[in-house]
Amino acid sequence: MAIQEHDPLLSVEHLSLSFETTESSVVVLDDISLAIGKDEIVALVGESGCGKSVTAMSIMRLLHSPPAQYKGGNIYFQGEDLLKSSDRHLRDIRGNRISMIFQEPMTSLNPVLTIGDQVAESLTLHNKLTKEETLKAVVDLLEKVRIPGARQRLKSFPTQYSGGMRQRIMIAMAISCKPDLLIADEPTTALDVTIQAQILELLKTLKRETSMSILLITHDLGVVAEFSERIIVMYAGQIVESASTRELFKTPLHPYTQGLLNSLPKLHNLETRLKTIEGYVPSLGKLPVGCHFHPRCSHVMPICRESCPPIIEIKQGHTCRCFLQSEACV
Ligand SMILES: Nc1ncnc2c1ncn2[C@@H]1O[C@H](COP(=O)(O)OP(=O)(O)OP(=O)(O)O)[C@@H](O)[C@H]1O
Ligand SMILES: [Mg+2]
């Protein structure tokens, strides 16, 4: 489904954020703009350390300040500017209208509380329910995320569940309040490929059933091909490309996106070795002058070493931050 330009569910506009200590100030998010439509699945992709989790945490306003400092921009959710919302109102929005699931479920689940109690807690946080209603709602939720024998397993502890099951529990807790937006930060990275596919399929089914929007964060472009409708590519604190999934796979414009796609295994080409992108992601505190990607780029031009390219819309719905494209546009 195409993004609804006029009234997106979430609209982040020119968001900049830095981490500041007495010794240093590091820009972690640089002019981030993205929008997620109602009922849409968007993927945020990029290598480790590029700022994906910080983007998610900054949308949820979960970053501690200090060190985090918003430097500019707006975050509109259902038309409301989250950067201007009170802490109390934000608490109401979090886990109610926007939910988040994290990469490593064990750090979010309490090891000494039973699964039943933890899911019940997330349910009763925003709803007043009797004991019987809570029990029924917990079992319903666990069945919804396909936990076999849900009723019998309520008194089990997180360590008695497998990694995939624990991630299902996290999903159950995240959807317990029927959020409008679910932010899933690397929900399947710690899982093996089969379980990973099952979890993504489950998220897709739940999205269809509840018509929530999903922002999926991952470093793996392969994962998003089947899952998301649109892809946003991040590199070193900036968005470098965004397009519909079909368009991005068919016509990747940024050399970084092209590198990510080339590093995916291809079914018909099992003999050749996987191509990797040469070099390393720069530390955000020591970014190169000019385009952040230029030291690793095989198309580098003199201008790339001098100034940072702006992000521009190359064609409708396809943006790119690369001088190769702006040259082409001139
Ligand atoms: N609380 C914090 N204080 C200072 N720096 C931080 C903090 N959280 C993250 N960073 C820095 O911000 C940058 C972006 O981190 P982030 O966690 O968003 O990366 P990521 O894209 O999610 O990577 P990964 O794929 O490894 O999860 C990193 O350089 C990280 O060290
Ligand atoms: Mg992360």
User: What mean pLDDT is predicted for residues 112-120?
Assistant: 94
Q: Give the ligand at the shortest distance from the Cα of 185.
A: 2
Q: Is the CB of 28 under 6 A from ligand 1?
A: yes
- Distances from the Cα of 195 to the Cα of 19, 222, 240, angstroms: 36, 15, 31
Block residue for tokens 């604190």: 237
Q: Is the dihedral of CA 110, 116, 117, 122 positive or negative?
A: positive
Contacts of 85 (CB under 8 A, 6+ apart): 61, 93
pLDDT tens readout for residues 158-173? 999 988 899 899 999 9
pLDDT of residue 1: 40
CATH superfamily placement of domain 10-97+177-329: P-loop containing nucleotide triphosphate hydrolases (3.40.50.300)
Return d(Cα 95, Cα 91) in angstroms, integer. 8
Q: Is the CB of 52 under 6 A from ligand 1?
A: yes
| Partners of residue 243 on adjacent β-strands | 231
3-class DSSP state for residue 244? strand
Q: Is the dihedral of CA 211, 53, 14, 99 positive or negative?
A: positive
Buried b / exposed e over 256-292, threshold 16 CB at 10 Å, is bbbbbbeeeeeeeeeeeeeeebeeebbebeebeebbb
Return d(Cα 202, Cα 307) in angstroms, integer. 44
Provide the pLDDT confidence category of residue 189 given band limits of 50, 70 and 90: confident
DSSP 290: S
Considering just the CA atoms, what is the radius of gyration of the chain in Å? 21
pLDDT tens readout for residues 239-279? 999 999 999 999 999 999 999 998 887 666 555 666 788 88
Q: Give the ligand at the shortest distance from the Cα of 47.
A: 1
- Residue 306, φ and ψ in degrees, nearest 5: -105, -45
Q: Give the ligand at the shortest distance from the Cα of 50.
A: 1
Q: Is the CB of 237 under 6 A from ligand 1?
A: no
pLDDT of residue 32: 97
Atom nearest to 285 CA in ligand 1: 29
What's the predicted TM-score (pTM) here? 0.92
Could you tell me what percent of the chain has a pLDDT over 70?
A: 93
User: What mean pLDDT is predicted for residues 143-158?
Assistant: 91
Atom nearest to 103 CA in ligand 1: 27
CA of 147 relative to ligand 1 center, distance in Å: 32
Contacts of 158 (CB under 8 A, 6+ apart): 105, 106, 109, 110, 111, 115, 118, 166, 169
Q: What are the domain boundaries of the chain?
A: 10-97+177-329, 108-176
- pLDDT score of 2 more than 50: no
Find out whether 94 and 60 touch, Cβ atoms under 8 Å.
Answer: yes
327: tokens are 């040259």
pLDDT of residue 231: 97
- pLDDT score of 109 more than 80: yes
Contacts of 33 (CB under 8 A, 6+ apart): 12, 13, 14, 15, 73, 239, 311
Closest of 30, 26, 64, 28 to residue 238, by C-alpha = 30
Q: Is the CB of 57 under 6 A from ligand 1?
A: no
pLDDT tens readout for residues 199-238? 899 999 999 888 899 999 998 888 888 899 999 999 999 9
CA of 152 relative to ligand 2 center, distance in Å: 34
Could you tell me what percent of the chain has a pLDDT over 90?
A: 65
pLDDT tens readout for residues 9-45? 999 999 999 999 888 899 999 999 999 999 999 999 9
CA of 195 relative to ligand 1 center, distance in Å: 26
Closest residue by CA, ligand 1 atom 8: 54
Q: Is the dihedral of CA 287, 291, 292, 298 positive or negative?
A: negative
Return d(Cα 187, Cα 200) in angstroms, integer. 9
296: tokens are 């690793």
Q: Is the CB of 115 under 6 A from ligand 1?
A: no
